[in-house]
Amino acid sequence: MSTLSLRLPDSLHKAAKTLAEKEHVSINQLIALAVAEKISALETKDYLEKRAHRGNRNKFLDVLKRVPAIEPDEVDKI
């Protein structure tokens, strides 16, 4: 595990402290989770962009042609 010295504006530190207390976690745990979520979001975006470049529109349309043309159940029309 690494140690990181972090400078935060007072308002952000106060908000983080308040939220950590509300969630019953330490500020360290809250910030680690926030960083993990941001990394996950950025990596997911990159992953999806790479997958999109591998896609083939004609193959996609061919697959859609095999989907039966049926009406959804009433409960699914919400």
Q: What is the pTM of this model?
A: 0.60
pLDDT of residue 77 exceeding 90: no
Q: What pLDDT sits at residue 19?
A: 97
CA–chain centroid gap for 23, Å, is 20
What's the mean pLDDT when you consider all of the chain? 93
Place of tokens 């990596």: 43
Q: In 3D, which of 39, 28, 36, 29 has the Cα closest to residue 6?
A: 28
Whether the per-residue pLDDT at 78 is higher than 80: the answer is no
Encode pLDDT of 17-62 as tens digits: 999 999 999 999 999 999 999 999 999 989 999 999 999 999 999 9
